Chains A and B, each alone.
Chain A
Amino acid sequence: MKQLDEEEVGGAVGRSPPRRDGPGKVTGRAKYLDDLTFPDQLWGRTVRSTVAHAKVKSVTFDPAFDWSGITRVTATDIPGENVVALIVDDQPCLADGVVRHCEEAIALIAGKDREQLEQALLHVKIEYEPLPPVFDLLHSDVAFKKYKIERAVETLPEIFAKAYRIVEGTYKVRHQEQMYIEPNAICAVPRPDGGVTIHGSMQCPFYIHRALQRLMKLPTEKIAVIQTVTGGGFGGKEDYPSMLAGHAALLARKAGKPVKMIYKRDEDVAATTKRHPAVIKHRTAVAQDGTLLGCEIDVVMDGGAYCTLSPVVASRGVLHAGGAYRWPACRIDCRVVMTNTPPNGAFRGFGVPQTMFGIEAHMERIAHELGLDPLELRRKNALELGDQTPTGQELLWSVAAQEVLDAAVAKSDWHRKRHLFESEVTGRKRRGIGLSLALHGAGFTGAGEVRLKARAGVELTPRGCRVLAISTDIGQGTETVFAQMAADSLGVNFDDVEVAIPDTSKMPDSGPTVASRTVMVVGGTIASAARALQAALASFAAERYGAEAGQVTCREGIFYATVPDSPAERPLAPFGAIASAYLDERGPLRCIEQYAHPPGIEFDEVAYRGDAYPCFAWAATVVELEVDLDTFEIKLDRVVHACDVGKAIHPVLAEGQIEGGTVQALGYALLEEHFYKEGRVINTRLQNYLIPTSMDAPVIESVLVEDPYPHGPYGAKGLGELPMDGPAPAVVAAVLHAIGALVPELPVTPERVMAALEAAR
């Protein structure tokens, strides 16, 4: 481990104070969008495509229906450009002439009475002229983006020719729905100045802000986007709220009244983004002792009908496709293709759960085919400090692959259980224990952070400071950890730090709440700004109390000055006294800083070479389960998840991220599956798309490993997505251990277990 060049860890960081939003949430006082009322507010609904690909010949509002009191909007009502601005301008806000997927929005209606709107929806007639759809990702010839990572590829033919064994496998993963319990919800309020204010459930207020400038043809100052308490996101409220806010804003503009749109559960599931399905092929050259010599990996992801975030999802996916291992030579190809299904988008892990499933299931196949111990195979090939990733990134710090394996193996009693379960060969049940090793790049991929130039900071209050960042708390505990880091960096108590509600009109753009970047990137910037605020106040205090500027510091709410030629300090004044005097005499004080990427971390986005991430977080998952040989049902017994987070700013919240991510990943592994008919999701309800209940979830034993990242605040690196990566392949590994058959796709249903067992016989 490296020494930190940060200041010493202070009072609040590393402890677990009660979360800031706790009292509002346990009493029901916290106001989600549905709990707010707006004067004279209307409800909005969406008219959607019922076909996957067609020309729209006509949109008719049935003249026999009474439309009085109902506001109607079609693409012709859009004042600006008909686009949901994100990466590529291919997705219209309202379909105009052509629909490319089922549930695509074609028209909008708003009115006071929700039942009347239900009736009205039935009286909008759309005439289509069908076009041929594409549903199978392997049959699509339109790619949104292709990537290639090459490392010593000229040596691959010889490596494969001389290898002891070549192991091949194909792995398949399907859609996964974020299934936040609060559906998408936005209210648009028209303003007297012709602008609009958006309130709603969201992850990225400035995405909405930018999208509305183009759609509504409004200048920046005439749009304000304010986050309401958000009932979960997991990526599902990264980009989709830009679409929904656009719809609400168009209706509000035409009606001249606030318009609230809250999706019903089935509408949310049918129309909004999901995790990209993928097919991943591996071909690996292995030495007799299990040393990985080289590989060829081919990843195909299904982007759905529009580009949305697909290029970045695929980029992160391909950059993790080789897993946590050292590859002397490799060729990794990836393409993300168009199909006529609703666009896929961000979901915790962002391409990595797919490719990590591929490599980790393949590692199990390699161990199985060569008769090697799967733990030793991973230990032998795991990346170490100084090794290079497939893009040639030299790992300079915080590489904890062996440490997380050690922690998970010790906690799970791996060796004893492995032997014990192998000796159990009678009866109807078989037990198995399996593991996986994963890494997850923290922060934006490649040059993302450099381009973004995230800004965040603090402003002085009479007691402490107020944190200013657009980063949203969607349940992870952002408010709480920001307050902890700001308190320690400013030198005040946790309770004396406020965190402002994200509002685009009041604070700088600290970037979207995605990519496990909130603590590491934004938190680090806030900590730095809080130190600058302390320095400014310290020099003010020094002047006032006749001390030298460089000799005044603040700790736990008290300013001290060092005593010359002595280790002693003399207290000068409480923070509140200095702050109040400053505010009275000099007025408001704000320190806003821009995120500084670590020096020397550079990525070539054309060649796909270099430092893809400033650092990686590491995780090892051990799953213990039981397979019923008659029904092929799987019962989870125990999950151990060791995650290296650099530094747990708030251990209880960090464990909460691990446990919650693990159960989402176990849902992905065992339960969650969407079924499509002609491009339309047919299981849109919680009755038929099953997420884990408290009875499905096993006891999860999380282990926090802290291998500090020298450029992260207090050593912290990203954590949010990491726990999503490893559990699914660990389930496959445990099933293989239990019954000797490898299930190469998700979810691992009884049918797939049976098929794998038959194939293995």
Chain B
Amino acid sequence: MELLVEWWDLLVTAILRGGIYALMAVGLSLVFGVMNIANFAYGELYMLGAYFAYFAFTVLNFGPIPAMIFAAMMTFIVGSILEKVFFYPLRQRAKKQWLMNSFLVTLGISIILQNSAKLFWGSTYYGITQYWGGRIRGISSMSISMDRGVGFLIAVIAITALILFLSKTRTGRAIRAVSQDEIGAGLVGIDLNFIHTLTFSLSAMLAGIAGACLLSINPAYPTMGIQPLYKSWFVLILCGMGNVGGSIIGGLLVGLLETITYSYFSGGWQDVISLTIIIMILLFKPNGLFGNTGVKSAVE
């Protein structure tokens, strides 16, 4: 019975953790699938989300939910500016080397955003103690902080909204069409520039929401982006790139993997173990866990 309770606790923690990973990975996957950009600046968008939420919550005295909405809107705007300023001119020029060039541009963006954050806000932690106080009690002795629970709920809502948007609305279907065949989509009259900007902004928004949700757990800091970035890349590579549905399962899997390693291994070894496991999986299944279901796989 005790073992069962322990497993239950693990599972709950894993799902809570994995929800946010899934949210991040979906955004990364969307941009990769539609625009073919391996976005390395994604962690910085997450960081911006955290900063915006912090300022909305403490300086502007917004409530928790308005603060998150504010962060989402701001990162959406930042995303559209980034796309218009950097990727639009690049798309006009780069033809064959697009994948590598765009990847390197995102690297440049990541350097710029990170150091701008340092410049404006300094290398201090901006954190809040809690959005909502209190804890949620489950069937076991373990209790979950309210923030984690609500954060997970918001992740679920955001992902559901995105999936509904992609499958039900005209614009969403246009995005999917572009991801399947860009030239064909252009031929039937889809405004490619608009779709690209929208996709990038949406993906930035998802990162921003993730950053805002976790503000009370991870305080805003200029270099905070690297951890969520590589975790989203885990998920993406694990589940085939550009596979939005797979990213959800992948996010939960990575959450589970991490929770297990975190509870059974001590000290700083957790990262090593989970990295090693993921490297092993990738070596034996380089196409990702779901084979060829992704729009694009790692194997070009």
Interaction A to B: no
What residues of chain B have their CB less than 8 Å away from a CB belonging to chain A?
Answer: none
